[in-house]
Chains A and B, each alone.
Chain A
Amino acid sequence: MSEARYAVGIDLGTTHCVMAAVDLSVEEPDGLAQWTVAVPQLTAPGAVEERPMLPSFLYLPHPDELKPTDRTLPWGKPQPFVVGELARAMGSRTPIRLVASAKSWLCHPGIDRRAAILPVEAPDEVERVSPLQATIRYLEHLRAAWDQRYPDAPLIDQDVILTVPASFDPAARELTAEAAASVGLSHLVLLEEPQAALYHWILAAQGEWRKQVKVGDVILVIDLGGGTADFSLIAVTERDGSLELERVAVGDHILLGGDNMDLALAHAVRAKLAEQGTQLDLWQLQGITHGCRSAKETLLSDAQAEAAPVVVPSRGSKLIGGTLRTELTRAEVTRNLVDGFFPAVDAAARPASRARAALTKLGLPYAQDPAMTRHLAAFLARQVGATRDLAGFEDRLPAGATFLHPTAVLFNGGVFKAQPLLERTLEVLNSWLQAEGAPPVRLLEGADLDLAVARGAAYYGFVRRGRGVRIRGGTAKSYYVGVESAMPAVPGMEPPIEALCIAPFGMEEGTQAELPPQEVGLVIGEPVRFRFFGSSVRRTDQVGAALEQWGADEIEELEEIEATLPAEGRQVGDVVPVRLRAAVTEVGTLRLEAVPRDGSEGWKVEFDVRGEG
């Protein structure tokens, strides 16, 4: 194994992947060479182009659909699948063979993430892939692209920083690390995307960042990508006279992003056309979606324009005769995007959630309330105590504050290229602050809303070597296992359950929690399942704390965990008392172990990623 020459940041996004690198041989952050790595990919059958982004799409073509030479990449043998721009283009015509949003499936608790289930709508003859495999395909492509460009510095020898949403649960993180490991990336760390965006801001500010923030600042990072929304709060603290950054809270996983917005506009235009008596087929609806995206960009970037034309070209070779023409007005954009996704609500607003129908089709758990501002209000209210125990922050928040008051905000993600959406978000946030007598937030200007995460991640590889400010924080949740409490059983009632804390809030990478005093019984040779919980607000629970009751909003149930003790020298069926110990690996994943009483080596406890079915 050779010493890593580069740190490579990989933003494995829901809709796009981006790869960036820094040269680790440079000593000073000021002279840091940093760049995004273009990714060669098929853009048409038999045509390969380098693009700054790799669309996160996997297409599984019919054997007669493409010649093997049409799938030729600059490396290796043609694969029986297509990744990237061509996959997206072919999938728009044949959706039953397209795997999209694999990342969202990877953290979908209701399904088996290792089972070949994608595309969900595919007919039986299509050989489906698992969300994990799809992720591996994207990473393989990125690795091949890197290795082709830097044959002397293969990716598996470099420091690789893979970004994940801050809201990813331990199981999804573990699956992401597993995908990277199966591609051979052994020098791997995971980094939360909002943190990566902040690292990029620090890098772009070139040392000036210390002048733009001060001790006592709370930076709100709003990362709104193609498919997901991710919030984080980062506090500016001081140690030994120099500024430090500490990530104090992350939000829930919200499946809501820019693609939803384009779709919302397309449906609005479709409804308008339907009123005029024009029905659209699937092909035309896609055309409308595409047309609305560029019309939206026109309207959101030009405050004078009142309407922008939306043209859907005919499918046949008769372009003029068959072309459908309509327009998108400013009022429609304002109603559907600005007011629809960023309504001006007060700080007490909460996202609406409908009870799900009992027989939901297998699909992604999209956010039920499209209002970003309501999700944001709920996040800040829940995290009102996030800085309470932080040195220097004791008196910062007024006593009656109903939500945590951020002092600065950093936007990330392609959605915020639209200035009116950014302005509306600021406006709403400031109205909440004003209502509680707090000053408005400062906007931290970050460039490159699309590429910042990958670039920031690469820079983090440099920072990890002790050459720049590091955002501290550790795990953003405390974790608990459910154990039956020792109360006498009452007929007709489930035995009450206690949540036993096994991992405190804020565990750093490479650390191990203490052993809790409580023991649980494991049956040898049989898988034993435990309920598993996490809390993003209970910051002070220590290992061994047993909660008998908790607020509905305080603790959320995660997927079950499962321990299987091998029979090795023991009697199958015997019950062995063990204690559960948590550790955070160097990679950044949570590892749970069952440690027997005699102190011998523990067994790994697995996250159950097979879903409920």
Chain B
Amino acid sequence: MNDSQPGFFARLTLALRVFGRILGDGAFADGVLRLDRGESSAPAAPPLVESPKPAPLRETLPESALQLLALLQQEGRFVDFLEENVTAYTDAEIGGAARVVHEGCRKALRDYLQIESIRPEAEGARLTLAAGFDPALVRLTGNVVGQPPFTGTLMHRGWRVAQITLPKLAEGHDVRVLAPAEVEL
């Protein structure tokens, strides 16, 4: 006899209690019936669908993106430049405007983001990646075979934002306004 099974008196108490519940509780009686027939004791619930774990994707909030776009427009006329049809103009004309965009957007980038390169080596240099490198920081291309350490040529140093400090916004500030219309009186 298994030690974990209840003793005689415990079984007697259980029998009396189950007797009472079979009479008073239909669902319980149905469970006992199926147990008696040798079926699983689980209730006749709809079969459980094994739902896949949700993919680790998230919506990004448009707030900061729009705020940064507004800053690029404010400092460097970024949206004006991209919205304009450049085919009608000469390279010299575009170049003149590009200075405005370059100077202003560069200032905005430097004011609000601290951007640093991921790899300190000069582009074109040979470098070796030890096992356990972060593929988010370094993307392998070309003849990607074998085991690390990998040796290759640095094609792009990569950029990473070390720090971002965007202006704080007032409650109710509409970030969708990239640049207000201007009316001179």
A residues contacting B by CB (< 8 A) are: 40, 43-50, 69-70, 72, 74, 93, 294, 309, 311, 313, 315, 317-321, 323, 325
User: Could you tell me if A47 and B100 are in contact, using CB atoms closer than 8 angstroms?
Assistant: no
Binds A, one of B2-10, B41-49, B168-176: B168-176
B residues less than 8 Å from A93 (CB atoms) = 182
Q: Can you name the residue of chain A whose Cβ is closest to the Cβ of B80?
A: A319
User: Using Cβ atoms and an 8 Å threshold, which residues of chain B touch A46?
Assistant: 169-170, 172-173
- Verify A319–B101 contact, CB threshold 8 A: yes
10 A-B residue pairs with CB within 8 Å: A46-B169, A46-B170, A46-B173, A47-B168, A47-B170, A93-B182, A317-B80, A319-B84, A320-B81, A321-B84
- Name the one of B94, B167, B168 contacting A320, with C-beta atoms under 8 angstroms: B94
A-B contact sample (15 more), CB < 8 A, given A309-B99, A319-B100, A323-B97: A40-B168, A46-B169, A47-B67, A47-B167, A48-B169, A69-B172, A294-B103, A311-B100, A315-B182, A318-B80, A319-B97, A320-B86, A320-B97, A321-B89, A323-B96
B58-76 vs A, Cβ < 8 Å mask (1 yes, 0 no): 0000000001001000100
Flag B91-120 by CB within 8 Å of A: 1 or 0 each: 001101101110100000000000000000
Do A43 and B167 touch (CB < 8 A)?
yes
User: Given A294-B103, A319-B80: A48 and B96 within 8 A (CB)?
Assistant: no
Chain B residue contacts of A47, Cβ below 8 A: 67, 167-170, 173
Q: Which of A45, A69, A294, A317 has the most CB of B within 10 A?
A: A317
B83 within 8 A of A: yes
What residues of chain A lie closer than 8 Å to B171, measured between beta carbons? 69, 72
CA distance A311 to B103 in the complex (A): 10
The minimal Cβ–Cβ distance linking B14 to chain A, given in whole angstroms, is 67
Are B170 and A72 in contact (CB-based, < 8 A)? yes
With A311-B96, A319-B77, A323-B96: A49-B84 Cβ-Cβ less than 8 Å: no
Distance (Å) between the CB of A445 and the closest chain B CB? 26
A71: nearest chain-B partner, CB-CB: B170
The residues of A that contact B103 with a CB separation of less than 8 Å are 294
* Alpha-carbon gap, A27 to B38, bound state (A): 87
- For A311, list chain B residues within 8 Å (CB): 96-97, 99-100
Contact of B167 among A44, A294, A317 (CB under 8 A): A44
We find that the number of chain B residues with CB closer than 8 angstroms to chain A is 27
Cα separation A318 to B99 with both chains bound (whole Å): 15
Q: How far is the CB of A24 from chain B (nearest CB, A)?
A: 29
Specify the chain A residue showing the minimal Cβ separation from B94. Answer: A320
B-side interface mostly: helix
Given the contacts A44-B74, A69-B172, A313 and B89 also touching, CB distance less than 8 Å:
no
Cα(A202)–Cα(B79), bound, Å: 48
The 8 A-B residue pairs whose C-beta atoms are closest, nearest first, are A46-B173, A72-B170, A47-B167, A46-B170, A325-B96, A49-B167, A320-B97, A319-B80
- Measured CA separation A319–B85 after assembly (Å): 10
Which residues on A sit within 8 Å (CB–CB) of B165? 49-50
Closest to A49 in B: B167
State whether B84 touches A318 (Cβ < 8 A). yes
* B97 contact set on A, CB distance < 8 A: 311, 313, 319-320, 323
Q: A313-B77, A317-B80, A318-B84 are contacts. A323–B170 as well, Cβ < 8 Å?
A: no
Complex: A20 Cα to B170 Cα, angstroms: 27
Distance (whole angstroms) from the CB of A84 to the closest CB of chain B: 12
Whether B101 lies near A48 (C-beta < 8 A) is no
The residues of A that contact B172 with a CB separation of less than 8 Å are 46, 69
Point out which of A47, A48, A74, A319 has the most chain B C-beta atoms below 10 A from its C-beta: A319
Chain A residue, CB-CB nearest to B96? A325
Closest Cβ–Cβ distance, residue A233 to chain B (whole Å): 39
Q: A309-B96, A313-B97, A319-B97 are in contact. Are A70 and B170 (CB under 8 A)?
A: yes
CA distance A590 to B119 in the complex (A): 62
For A317, the chain B residues whose CB sits under 8 A away are 80, 83-84
Cα A72 to Cα B172 with chains together (Å) = 11
**Which B-chain residue is minimally distant from A73 (CB atoms)?**
B170
Q: A47–B68 Cα gap in the complex (Å)?
A: 12
B 147-175 to A, binary, CB cutoff 8 A, 1 in contact else 0: 00000000000000000010111111100
* A50 / chain B contacts, CB cutoff of 8 Å: 165
Task: Give chain B nearest CB distance to A609 CB in angstroms.
Answer: 36
Q: How far is the CB of B48 from chain A (nearest CB, A)?
A: 51
Chain B residues lying within 8 Å of A318, measured Cβ to Cβ, are 80, 84
Closest to B104 in A: A313
Please give, as numbers and ranges, the residues of chain A lying within 8 Å of B70 by CB-CB distance. 44
Residues of A within 8 A of B84 (CB): 317-321
B170 touches A320 (CB 8 A): no
With a cutoff of 8 Å between Cβ atoms, the chain A residues found around residue B93 in the complex are 320-321, 323
Residues of B within 8 A of A309 (CB): 96, 99
Partner of A69, one of B77, B101, B173: B173
Q: Which residue of B lies closest to A283 (CB)?
A: B184
Report yes or no: B169 in contact with A313, Cβ–Cβ below 8 A. no
Name which residue of chain A comes closest to B92, CB basis. A325
Chain B hits for A72, CB < 8 A: 170-171
Most interface-central of B74, B77, B96 (chain A CB within 10 A): B96
The interface residues of chain B lying within 8 Å CB-to-CB of A40 are: 168
A506 → chain B closest CB, angstroms:
46
Residues in A whose Cβ lies below 8 Å from that of B77: 313, 319
Residues on A with C-beta less than 8 A from B83 are 317
Q: How far is the CA of A386 from the CA of B45 in the complex (A)?
A: 103
Chain B residue contacts of A319, Cβ below 8 A: 77, 80-81, 84, 97, 100-101
